[in-house]
Amino acid sequence: MRPHVAITEIQSAFLGALIDDWHILADLAFSDLILWVPGTDDETFYSIAQVRPATGPTALEDDVVGEVISHNPEHLVSQAYSTQRICETSDNKIQAGIPVDVWAIPLMVDCSCLGILERHTNQMGVRAPGELEDHYLAIAGILFDMVARGVFPDSGHRRLRGISPRVGEGLILLDTDGAVEYASPNAVMVYRKMGLSSDLLGEMIVPLTVSLMNRSGNPMDTSLMANFRSPHSEEADIDTGEASVFMRILPLTKPKGRIGTLVVCRDTTELRQKERQLVTKDATIREIHHRVKNNLQTVSALLRLQARRMKSTEAQGALEEAMARVQAIAVVHEILSHSMPGSVVFDDVADRLLKLTSDLASERGNVDARREGSFGEIPAETATSLSLVVTELCQNAIEHGLAAGLGTVIVAADRTPDGSLEMAVIDNGVGLPEGFDVHDKSRTSLGLSIVTTLLQDLHGEFSLVPNPDGIGARAIVRIPLYSAHA
């Protein structure tokens, strides 16, 4: 995390936990924060992170991440590091013509100073004092004191699954019993959306929230009480049916013990609605794929019935080839009905296609069809065309290469460093006719014509060449997967 500095896992976790929530400190204090860490010789300090407040003007016009300062007894960072106490300027400093108050807060871990949190407050942009500003600054003072005592972030800090709410989105201050001492206007508005009709001030937060959740008929989150009483930072997702809220819960302490709880909340109603819409859309798409697969299987079954009634061997073969093509597309839709939207694990598709090909060839003889290597994930819009390419090339290898009905067909797949797919369909059959040219349309089968057309749409390359040992042939395909549809 920091250059020229040996750092333990515990220290790294502490800094990561601090950065999780330090925008809360910046917003409450109306201040810019800079994270400084010492070099291995303790003679230099490196700036590794910076955050600006969303509640007031910045005191730092330029980014300072990456800057280095040398140890200087007159510098607040050096003073705080040496004394392991909070240090501050006695008079406003002038930065870019702006009067700025500066503090340096030591970051204590296991009784040693890991780094310095430098706080810069723009005094020209100080907000007019009021109830909200007074509570913000009072809570900021408590949190900075906790930082200096090494108890914020706490040792049991829970890393966020998502982005921590901003202070301006809603702030609630609880006393030691869990009663609301202060709620910002935005926090009150959040609870109004949840269904609160009375005043939030003085309410016991957990029973109140539980009662609002009970009205929705949703399953209860039994961990809610534990989250508010936990000695560690926690998070909670609240859903009352009328509104959804995400809460960041931070215990507030002084040397003698816990003095309250800070709750920062975000209205996530719109976000949850969009998530539900996406889930519904995803389920609909999966159902469509499932129904398309069923319809294609019905078509395949009809072709099979028709083929059995044909007296002409040539007509029967043509229907069997058509049936294989329909089944290849059906396999892709079946995989898509169970896959994440946007991509297909194509190894599953290829394995099923090889089994289908082997089953169709079993009437002629014993064919060993197998896959080597991995296709990886293939974009959904490419999967159908690729499945037809695999089917046609395997059928071509069996029908023309393994004319005797015995032999091996190998589908070898690999991904190149540039994201392209390279595939070879290899057989150990009779090989290519003398003078064969895959681009000669007069000598090319319908299957190879289909392959050529599909690969043109995918901006792919195709060649059909003898094997190096002179036995059988191989069809080589290369597809630039992530640029085919750009």
What token pair was written down for 41?
């010789």
The Cα 257–Cα 79 span in angstroms is 28
The neighbouring-strand residues paired with 51 are 33
Residues 6+ apart with CB under 8 A from 331: 349, 352, 353, 356, 387
Q: Contact, 391 vs 325, CB < 8 A?
A: yes
Write down the pLDDT at residue 288.
76
The Cα 457–Cα 385 span in angstroms is 9
Write down the pLDDT at residue 260.
95
Q: Cβ-count burial of 34 within 10 angstroms (0-12 exposed, 13-18 middle, 19+ buried)? A: buried
DSSP state of 266: E
How would you list the strands of the sheet with 421-427, edge to edge? 367-373, 407-415, 421-427, 473-479, 461-466
Q: Contact, 385 vs 460, CB < 8 A?
A: no
Write down the pLDDT at residue 116.
93
Write down the pLDDT at residue 117.
95
DSSP state of 204: B
Radius of gyration of the chain (CA): 34
Write down the pLDDT at residue 298.
85
Chain length of the chain = 486
Residues 6+ apart with CB under 8 A from 14: 107, 109, 114, 153
DSSP state of 123: S
User: What average pLDDT values come out for the chain (486 residues) when binned by 10 residues?
Assistant: 59 84 93 90 86 91 89 88 86 69 88 90 78 93 91 76 82 95 94 90 91 69 79 87 88 94 91 69 72 80 82 80 78 72 82 81 74 89 87 84 78 89 90 74 72 88 88 90 50
The Cα 389–Cα 464 span in angstroms is 13
Is the backbone peptide bond immediately before 38 cis, with ω within 30 degrees of 0? no
Torsion of CA 32, 35, 38, 40, to 10 degrees: -150
- DSSP secondary structure letters along 223-249: THHHHHH-SS-EEEEEE-SS-EEEEEE
CB burial string 131-144: b at 16+ within 10 A, e below: ebbebbbebbebbb
What token pair was written down for 312?
């002409």
Q: Cβ-count burial of 24 within 10 angstroms (0-12 exposed, 13-18 middle, 19+ buried)? A: buried
| H or E element in which residue 331 lies | helix 313-336
SS3 72: coil
The neighbouring-strand residues paired with 266 are 246
Write down the pLDDT at residue 439.
66
What token pair was written down for 346?
């194509």
What token pair was written down for 53?
């407040």
**Residue-wise pLDDT tens digits, 185-228:** 999 999 999 989 889 999 999 999 988 888 755 555 567 788 88
Write down the pLDDT at residue 2.
43
Pairing state between β 180-183 and 171-174: antiparallel
Q: How many Cβ atoms from other residues are within 10 Å of residue 375's Cβ?
A: 23
Listed residue (162, 159, 171) closest to 19, CA to CA? 159
The Cα 163–Cα 165 span in angstroms is 6
Write down the pLDDT at residue 3.
47
Tokens 């299957």 sit on residue: 447
Average confidence score pLDDT of the chain: 83
